[in-house]
Structure 1
């Protein structure tokens, strides 16, 4: 059964930080004390895109994320590969099957052994359905130390449908809320001028609308492009819209 209170609080969260705090709390009640969520809009056949463009949310320790994300181990993680090829939920019992059958590549085995050394031995992964081949989102739910995969699988058999629904809801809410990558946020003025460009206004139009000189408008656009790590203003508008930094109430 889905908890209506949890659903409503997730729906009413006004920021990603608030949403993530609630979601980690709710998942901990089911025995999942460490989560890592990832989303990309720039997936290709050979890459998940620039890690700087990922939406990454986690309550794992820096000791773990500095290696798993910072050193790129995620790219060879067996459950990440599964998530890229499938939708829905998958028990980590799959890892035991891959290991016992000798089906892992050396790179995958390295990730598998690193995770086990970090007490990531039981859990579930959820791959969210994508409407575009360029996008993909997934979350890994790690069971707290002491819980076995058999215990987690038994619990999932009873409560998995509700857990899956809460994670799907959290994913959809994350996509609808503003996300600012660390150190790459836009200033209010940069958001404003990008929004006007998105509405089809020229630099001269924007200068008149916001009471600035054209040169100052150009400066804000240049700084916005730099903050978003793109080359053109059109790319900046698109990326800022993807991250919900513009065209959103309260900004």
Structure 2
């Protein structure tokens, strides 16, 4: 287990999402949390978390778990997901047990708990990160190792919880600065033309700067809009900036 100062130094110097996530999952595993799901959306509405293709999702769960929990939409009814959407900070999964005793659980929530139990996802903590706008939300679920009870996870948290929260907060903030393409992967040329648009250049200007025909520039802009699933080039510039795909040094993300 790396101490807090050394870990934060390594984390803040990470140069890619992959490097960041590897560091973080290794550190969380040292505390006994070996299966993580991090999720972030910038397109939340009152009734939706936005298009899943626009989410940032990182996980160490098995594909079998994620296929049901995420791809088949089980997360919609997960009590801790709902808690994270309405709250900031850290919460023990014992909250679900307390909710069951005081308010009761819906049949859909019970199905989530039964599925989690079948996959040995029984104990853990959720950290919900403070949002800067109503459209954005991010959280991470930390699942304790198989065989660990919630009481044992709570004992670990009582000793190390403050440090774990700091580590997750810094991981989240650092992740927001790194290029992440997900399903919206732009080519190098598409990013390049969007960057020039962001600098205020016209199609003709960009054609001269890149030694391309104006029609070729328009083609790259159209493909960028299609990749990012937006209607206008201005929207494409904004969404590419959200993904930190603008003004990056990598040859390809």
Instruction: Verify same fold: TM over 0.5.
Output: yes
Q: Distance in 2 between matches of 1:94 and 1:40?
A: 24
What is the CA deviation profile of residues 22-80 of structure 1, one whole-angstrom value per residue up to 9, with x for unaligned ones? 10000000000000000000011111111111000001000000111101111211001
Shift of 1:248: 3.3
In the TM superposition, 1:33-112 aligns within 5 A as 33-101=34-102, 103-112=104-113
Distance 1:232 1:2 in 2: 47
Is the contact between residue 2 and residue 162 of structure 1 (CA under 8 Å) also seen in structure 2? no
Work out the CA distance in 2 between the residues paired with 1:122 and 1:77: 14
**Aligned position for 2:203:** 203
Instruction: Confirm or deny that 1:239 pairs with 2:239.
Output: yes
Q: Distance in 2 between matches of 1:7 and 1:237?
A: 31
**Which moves more between the two structures, 148-157 or 106-115?**
106-115
Work out the CA distance in 2 between the residues paired with 1:2 and 1:199.
43
SS at match of 2:176: helix
Q: CA deviation at 1:161?
A: 0.3
Q: Which residue of 2 aligns with 1:217?
A: 217
In the alignment, is residue 161 of structure 1 matched against residue 150 of structure 2?
no
Unaligned runs of 5+ in 2: none
Secondary structure of the 1:110 match is helix
> Considering only aligned residues, what root-mean-square deviation do their CA atoms show, in Å?
1.3
The residue number in structure 1 matching 2:6 is 5
Task: Summarize deviations over 1:147-193 as a string: whole Å, max 9, x none.
Answer: 111111111111100000000010001111000114x3111111000
Question: 1:229 & 1:181 partners in 2: Cα distance?
Answer: 13
Count of residues in correspondence between the two structures: 250
Q: Distance in 1 between matches of 2:34 and 2:215?
A: 51
Task: Calculate the TM-score normalised by the size of structure 2.
Answer: 0.96
Structural mapping, 1:118-129, within 5 Å: 118-129=119-130
**Cα offset for 1:104?**
1.5
Q: Counterpart of 2:32?
A: 31
Structure-1 separation of matches of 2:35 and 2:60:
6
- The separation in 2 between residues aligned to 1:43 and 1:33, in whole angstroms, is 28
Q: Is the 8 A contact 1:19 1:170 kept in 2?
A: yes
- For residue 99 of structure 2, give the secondary structure of its aligned residue in structure 1: helix
Q: CA deviation at 1:250?
A: 4.1
Q: Measure, in 2, the Cα distance between the counterparts of 1:122 and 1:177.
A: 30
TM-score (norm 1): 0.96
Post-superposition Cα deviations, 1:92-138, rounded to whole Å, max 9, x if no partner, equal 00111223345212221111111111111100000000110100000
